[in-house]
Structure 1
Amino acid sequence: MSTPLLTPAPPLTPLRRAATAGVLAVAVAVTVLVAAVHLTQGTSSIGALDLLGLALGGEDQEAARVLVASRLPRLLAGVAVGVALGVAGALLQSIARNPMAAPDTLAVSSGAYLAVVAAAAFGLVLPLPMSGGLAFLGGLAAAGLVLALSAGGRTGTTRLILAGSAAALAFSALTNLLMILFEEETAGLFAWGSGALTHTDLTAVTQLGPVIALVLLAAMLAGPRLDILGLGDDTASVLGVNVRRLRLWATLLAVLASAAAVTVAGPIGFVGLCAPVVVRSLPASSLGLRRHRVLLPLSALAGVLIVLCADIALRAALGGQAGVEVPPGVMTTVFGAAAMVWLARRHRDAGPARRPPSVRTVAGRSRGGFAILLTLCAALSAGAIVLGMLGGDTWLLTGDLANWLQGRTGRALTYVLDQRYPRVLAAVLAGAALAVAGTAVQAVCRNPLAEPGVLGVTAGAGVGAITLLTVAPLAGIWLMSAAAGAGALAAFALVYGLSWRGGLSSDRLVLVGVAVQAAATSITVLIIVRSDPWNTAKALTWLSGSTYGRVPAQLVPVALALLVAVPLLAWLRRDLDLLALDEDAPRVLGVPLEPVRLAALGGAVLLTATAVSAVGVVGFVGLVAPHAARALAGAAHARVLPLAALLGALLVSLADTLGRTVIAPAQVPAGLVTALIGTPYFVWLLWRSRATQDS
C-alpha cells in the first residue's frame, strides 16, 4: 500500500521518559504564556498591566468586568476547542493510519454544523447539551459515510480526501440552502460557520468542557491498544486487540469531541489536522512522542496553541474589533491548508483512487450509434432550454414563447421572457464550460474523481470575483470576468507550482488543490464578513451559484472561452487519451508531456473562470458530466468532449429551472441543486469503485 502509514511507537527508555516529560513541560509553559498574551487582547483599553494589577490583588472593577464577561470566556472557549479538535484529529489519524484524516477532511465538522443549522432553521431552541447531542449525530453520520466510502481511509489519501470533500460539499450545500431559505432564523450563523470564539459567559465551556475532558481521558486509557493498532490490523488481532471494536469506540470519541467543539464555537477548520501533524513533526523516535498517552495530550496542547495563536494573529493584524467580526477559523484553515500542502509534498499516494474501475460502456459503439446518442443529448438540452424559458414563478405556454420569438407578445410577457433568456443561456453555457473543464482536469490528473473545484480553480475565481464585488460593486462584466480569471489563474499557478517536485504527481496535484480550495474559501469568507457581515443572503447566493439577474453581456465571456478552449482541447484529444492512460505511454510516443498538461489545464482555467464570473460557484458539474459521458460513449476524448458539454449544459439548465420553480417565488441557487444532484452520483461512484477493488 502506498499510503504513508503512521509509524508505530518505539519502546520507552528512562532517557526517553525524561525527554518526553521535558517536552510536555515546555508545551504547557508555552501554552500558559500564549494564554496570558491572549487575555491582553480585546476591543477595550484594558491592557496587560491592568490585568497584572488585578492578578496581584488590585480592585479595578472595569478590568474585572472585562476579564470575566469577555476575555476569560473567549480564552476558555479557545482552550476547549483546541483540546477537542487536537484529540479528535489524533484519534482519526491513528484509526485510519492516514496523516490527512481529520474532522474536516472526514466532513465531521460539516455534518455537525448542518445539524445545528437545521435545528435553528426549523425554530428548535434546544438547551446546550441537546444541541451538542444533535451535532454529535450529524458528525457521526458524516464520519461513517466518509470512512465507509474510503474503506476506513486505508485505501489511499487521495480517496479519503475526495470522499471527505464531496461529503463536505453536499453538507455545505444543504446548510447554505437552509440559511438562504430561513435567513431570519439562521441570522449570524454564516460567520459562525467558520468558527467563532465570541462568548459572553462560561455556560458553553462549563457544560461541554467536562465532556471534552472525559474524551481525552478515555482516549488515553485506550492509548496502549492504539499503539498496538499502529502495528497493523493482523498484528493487533494476534496480540489480542479487537480491531473493529477499538476503531468504533475511537471514532465515537473523535466525533464526540468534534461535536463538542462545533457546539462551543462552530466548525473551526483544520485544527484537527494541524495539531497531530505538529506533534508528529517533532523528533518522535527519540522522544517517544508516538505513544498515544503522550501523543494525545501533546496534540491537545498543540490544538490550543493553534487556536489561540490564530486568534492573536487575527486581532493583531486587523485590530481588536476583528475578533468580534472575523471568525478565527479563517486563520486556522489557512494554517491547515499550509500543513496539508506540506504533507502532500512529503507523501506520494499512488493508491487505488488513481485507478478507479472503468465504467461500463457499450462496447464498440459505432459512429452511427454515437451520432444518435449525441443527437439525443442535443435534443434533451434543447428541451431543457425550452423548459427553462417556460418555467418559473409564472408558467408560460409554448405558444407564448413562439410569439415572443416573433415579437408578438404583450408588454408583460415580453418583460418576463426578456428576463429569463439570459438566465437560461447563462446556465447552458456555464454548464458546458464546467463540463469541458472537468474533462480536461480528469485527463491530466488521470482521476475521474477530480474536477476544477478540487484543484482550487473554482474557489480562486470566486475570490477574484468577490474581491471585485466588494471593492467596486458596480464593476462591468468584462472587469468581473478579468477578476475571476486572475483569481483562477493565481490559484492554478499556486497549485501547479506547489505540486511540482521533480515532476508532477497527479495525486499530489489533487491534494494540494484541495488545500488551496479550502484556503481560498476561507479568504472569501473573510472578505464577505469584513465588508458586509450582515448581507449573508447575497454572499451565499453568489457562493452557491445563481443565474439571478443575469444580463446578455455576461454571456459573452463564457461563449468566447468556449470558442477558444473547446477547439484547443479537441486538437489535443489524442494526447489527452494518452495522458489518461499512465505516465509512460505519452513519453514513449513522443507527446510533450508538460506543454500538453499546461495547455489542457490552461483551457480548463479559462473555462472555469468565465463560468464563475457568469453564474458564481457551481460544483460537481465538472465531475458528473465527464464521467457520465465516458459511461455512455467510452474513453476517447473525441467523443467525451462534445457529449460532456451537452450533459453539463443539460444538468445546470435543469438545476436552474428546478431551483426557480420548486419553491417559487423563492429561489434555490443552481449550484446548490447541482451539488445535491451530484453528491449521490459521486457517492455511488466511490462505493462502486471500492466494491470493485475489494473484490
Structure 2
Amino acid sequence: MSTEVLTPSVPDTPLRRLGTAGVFLLTLAAVVLVAAVHVTQGTSAVGALDLLALPFGGSDEAARVLLASRLPRLLAGVCVGVALGVAGALLQAIARNAMASPDTLAVSAGAYLAVVAGSVAGLALPVPVSGVLALIGGLAAAALVLALSSGGRTGTTRLILAGSATALALSSLTNLLMILFEQETTGLFAWGSGSLVQTDLVAVTQLGPVIAVALVAAVLAGPRLDILGLGDDTATVLGVNVPRLRLWLTMLAVLLAAAAVTIAGPIGFVGLCAPVIVRLLPRSIPGLHRSRTMLPLAGLVGVLVVLGSDIALRAVLGAQAGVEVPPGVVTTVFGAAVMIWLARRYRDAGPTRRPPEARTGASRSRGAFLAVVATGVVLLVGALVLGLLGGDRWLLTGDVVNWLQGRSGRALTFVLDQRWPRVAAAALAGVALAVAGAAVQAVCRNPLAEPGVLGVTAGAGVGAITLLTVVPMAGIWTMSAAAGAGALIAFTVVYGLSWRGGLSSDRLVLIGVGVQYACTSIIVLIIVLSDPWNTAKALTWLSGSTYGRVPAQLIPVALALVVTVPLLAWLRRDLDLLSLDEDTPRVLGVPLEPVRLTALACAVLLTSTAVSAVGVVGFVGLVAPHAARALVGAHHNRVLPVAALLGALLVSLADTLGRTVIAPAQVPAGLVTALIGTPYFVYLLWRARPDST
C-alpha cells in the first residue's frame, strides 16, 4: 500500500501563469500606455496625431509643446511616482505597518515647510540645494513621528495620531508663513497639494539620477529588509545590524520623498497606495512579495497612480484644470479611501488608548475641584478683559468701564464694539470644542482623540467653504446650516464605515483621519477652482480667525451649548462607564449605542457651530479635556465644567495673542492653538510609550 503526500493546491490564476517577470512586463506596459495618453493632454491644440507625426517631420509647434510642457510634466510624474512608491514601500517595511507612508509620517509636511521657509527667506536656491532643505525638513519630521510611535510597530492608531499631530503643527507653521508673507509665497498654496506643472527639465534631470541611485540602493538592501520583516530578534541572530539598517533605510525613504517634494510639491498618499496595491497581488506568484521585487514594482504602480490621477483630473475638469488644480488632490482622496479600507480590515488595541493620566486619573476632593473651578473662572475673566484691552491699539481698564457705562468717546466705542464679539466668539467656541472633545474621548476611550480626527471639523469646513464660494454674502444662519450639514455628512460617513457588528474606537479614529484628509483635499480643490490667487482669506478662515465677527454669529454656538451641555451633563454617569470598556456599561444596563450616538451627535453639533463662528480651530478638543482630567480626575461631572473653562481660556488667549504679537497684522487663533497644542500632544504620546508605562 503506497502512501501519497498531499500538498495544498494553488489556484492556477492568469497572474500566476505570468510569473514575476510577466507581472513586471504587464505593469510596465500599463505605464507606457498611461504615459502615451498623458502626453496627448494639454491646453494647446496639439493632439495625438500631431505628436505621432513628429518622427516624420511634424510641425515645429508640436515639437515645442512636447519639449517645453508635456514631456517635462510627464517625466516629473514618472520621477515622483517612482520616488513616492518606493519610499512608501520602504517605510511600511521598516515600521511593519501598512499605514506608514511619507504622508502619515509627516515627511511631506516637513519637506514642504522647509521649502516654504526658503521662499520666505528670499533664497533663490538651485534645485539640489532646495532638495537638501526638503530632505532636512522631512528627516526631522519622520524622526519625531517614529520616536513618538516607537517606530510605528506598537500600533497603527499611535502612528497615525503622531503623524497627524506633527503634520498639523508643521502645516500650521507653513500656513502662518504663507499668510504673513503672501507675496513671497504666491502660488505655493496649490503647489502644497502637489503640482506637476514644469517650466523646464532642470528639476527632473538633476533629481532623476538621485531617485535612480536611491532605488538601486533600496533594491540591493532588499534581502536584509526581508530578514528585518521576520522581527528584530530574528534579524539580529541572522547577523543584521537592525538599528543601523533601519536608520539608513529611513534616510533613503526620506531622501526619495524629499526629491519628490522638490520636483512637484507634496503629492499626497501615493506612498500609501502604491505598496498596498502591490500587496493585493496574489501571494501565490513566486517571489513577487520579496523586497527586491516589491520595491521597483511599487515604484511603477506609483507612476500609474500619479499619471492616472492627472489624466482623470484633466479628463473630467478640462485641460486648464491640469494647470490650476493640483493632482495631489485626486491622489489624496484616493489615498484616503485606501486608508479607510485598511482601517476596516485592521483593529488596533495598542497602549495609545489609555495613557497614564487616563488610567490613573485619581478623583480629587470636592474642595480641590472647587478651587480649580474658582481659579479657572478668575483666569477666564482675566483673559476676557485682556482680550478687550489688547489689539493693534492697547486700552486701559478704565476705558472698558466707561464703555460699559456708555460714557466712552466715539473712537473708543467703535474699537470696543468691534472687539467684544471677537472675544465672546473665541470664548464660546473654546467651550464648544472642549465639551465636544470630552464627549468624543469618552466614546472612543482614547484621550488622544478629538473632533478633528473624526473628520467632523474638516467636514464642517467643506460645508462652510462651499457656501462662501457659491454665496459669498450668505447670512449667519445659512453659514451655520452649511457647516452643520458638512459636519453631519462627515460624521455619518465615519460612523457608518466604522460599524462592523459593533463600533471599534480605534477603527473610528483611523477612518475619521482618512475622512479628514479627504475633506481637506476637497477644500483645497474648491479654493483653487474658485479663486486660486486669493488664498489668504481662505487660509485665514481655515486656520481659525475671529476677524470681523458680529454678535449674530454668536447665536448658533450659544444655542448649541444651551441644548447639548445639559444633555451631556445628564449623561455624565453613562459617559463615565462608556469610557471604561465595552462590557461594563452593558452589564450595568446602559444602552450603549444610543448613549454613544447621542454623545457623538452633541459633539457634531458643537463642532459645526464653533466652525461657523470662528473657523477651523484645532487641538482644543484634545488639550482641554485631557488637562481637565489631570486636574480633577476622570468623572465627567467634573471634567465637563473644567474642560469648558480651559477651552474658553485657551482660545481666548490664543486669539488675543494672535491679535497683538505682530499687530497690526494678525495670526489666526487656530494656528496659535495648534502651535500650543502640538507640544502638549507630543508630551502625551511620549508619556504613553510602552516602555514608559
TM-score band (shorter)?
over 0.9
Q: Which residue of 2 aligns with 1:47?
A: 47
Alpha carbons 2:427, 2:652 under 8 Å: kept: yes
Find the aligned partners of 2:176 and 2:570 in 1 and give their Cα distance. Answer: 40
Deviation at 1:362, TM superposition (A): 8.0
Name the residue aligned to 2:75. 76
Output the amino acid matched with 1:20.
Answer: T
The Cα shift of 1:75 comes to: 0.5
Aligned residue number for residue 453 of structure 1: 452
5+ long unaligned stretches in structure 1: 1-9
Matches within 5 A, 1:242-641: 242-358=241-357, 363-641=362-640
Counterpart residue number, 1:119: 118
Partner of 1:7: none
Is 1:19 the counterpart of 2:32? The answer is no
Displacement of 1:289 in angstroms is 1.9
Structure 2 CA distance for aligned equivalents of residues 17 and 687 of structure 1: 49
Whether 2:165 is the aligned partner of 1:187: answer no
CA distance in 2, matches of 1:200, 1:370: 63
- The amino acid of 2:229's aligned partner reads G
1:142-161 deviation line (CA, Å, top 9, x unaligned): 00000000000001000000
Query: Aligned partners of 1:584 and 1:364: how far apart in 2?
Result: 23
Deviation at 1:358, TM superposition (A): 2.6
AA partner of residue 67 (structure 2): V
- Give the counterpart letter for 1:86 in structure 2: G
Q: Equivalent residue for 2:7? A: none
Map Cα deviations across residues 509-533 of structure 1 (whole Å, 9 max, x no partner).
0000000000000000000000010
Cα distance in structure 2, aligned partners of 1:42 and 1:521? 27
Deviation at 1:648, TM superposition (A): 0.2
Percent pairwise identity: 80
Instruction: Say if 2:363 and 2:635, in contact at 8 Å, map to a contact too.
Output: no
Measured against aligned partners, the alpha-carbon deviations of 1:162-186 in whole angstroms (never above 9, x if no partner) come to 0000000000000000001111001
Task: Measure, in 1, the Cα distance between the counterparts of 2:671 and 2:360.
Answer: 29
Q: Which residue of 1 aligns with 2:37?
A: 37
Aligned residue for 1:436, secondary structure, equals helix
Q: Which amino acid aligns with 1:418?
A: D
- Say whether the 8 Å CA contact 2:425–2:549 is kept in structure 1: yes
Mapped partners of 1:661, 1:693: distance in 2: 42
Q: How far has the Cα of 1:49 moved from its partner?
A: 1.3
Shift of 1:601: 0.3
Tell me how far 1:286 sits from its aligned partner: 3.1
Distance 1:401 1:207, change over 3 A: same
Q: State the distance in 1 between where 2:547 and 2:450 align.
A: 25
Aligned CA-pair RMSD: 1.3
In structure 2, how many angstroms separate the alpha carbons of the residues matched to 1:155 and 1:362? 23
Q: Secondary structure at the match of 2:56?
A: coil
* SS across alignment from 1:240: coil
SS of alignment partner, residue 451 of structure 2: coil
Q: Distance in 1 between matches of 2:670 and 2:588?
A: 40
Q: Count matched residues.
A: 680
Q: Name the aligned partner's letter for residue 266 of structure 2.
A: P
Q: Quote the residue 2:4 is aligned against.
A: none
Per the alignment, in what secondary structure is the counterpart of residue 475 of structure 1? Answer: coil
TM, length-normalised to structure 2:
0.97
CA contact (8 A) 2:430 2:620 kept: yes
Residue type at the aligned position of 1:121: V
TM-score using structure 1 length = 0.97
Letter paired with 2:456: V
213-222 vs 360-369, which moves further:
360-369
Cα deviation for residue 360 of structure 1 reads: 9.0
Aligned residue in 2 for 1:3: none
Does the C-alpha gap of structure 1 residues 209 and 607 become closer, same or farther in structure 2, counting only changes over 3 Å?
same
- Helix, strand or coil: the match of 1:558? helix
Q: Is the 8 A contact 2:363 2:634 kept in 1?
A: no
Post-superposition CA distance 1:295-333 (Å, at most 9, x none): 001100010000000000100110000000000000000
Q: What's the offset of the Cα at 1:372?
A: 1.7
Partner secondary structure for residue 358 of structure 1: helix
Other-structure match for 2:231: 232
Distance 2:91 2:250 in 1: 7
Whether contact under 8 Å (1:17, 1:288) holds in the other structure is no
3-state DSSP class of the match of 2:453? coil
SS at structure 2 position matched to 1:453: helix
Deviates more, 1:334-343 or 1:41-50: 41-50
Deviations 1:337-358, CA, capped at 9 Å, x for gaps: 0000110011111111122223
* 1:479 positional shift: 0.1
Instruction: Please tell me the residue identity of whatever aligns with 1:665.
Output: P
Q: Supply the distance in 2 between the matched residues of 1:305 and 1:127 (Cα, whole angstroms).
A: 29
1:481-503 C-alpha deviation (Å, 9 max, x unpaired): 00000000000000001111111
Q: What's the offset of the Cα at 1:368?
A: 2.2
Q: Give per-residue Cα distances to partners, 1:640-686, cap 9 Å, x unaligned.
A: 00100010000000000000000000000000000000000000110
Greater mean alpha carbon deviation, residues 361-370 or residues 258-267? 361-370
Quick one: structure 1 residues 362 and 603, their matched pair in 2 at CA, closer, same or farther if it must change by over 3 Å? closer
* Paired position in structure 1 for 2:167: 168
Deviation at 1:361, TM superposition (A): 7.4
- Paired residue for 2:203? 204
Whether the 8 Å contact between 2:392 and 2:664 is mirrored in structure 1 is yes
**Contact 1:311-1:328 within 8 A present in 2 as well:** yes
Q: CA deviation at 1:47?
A: 1.1
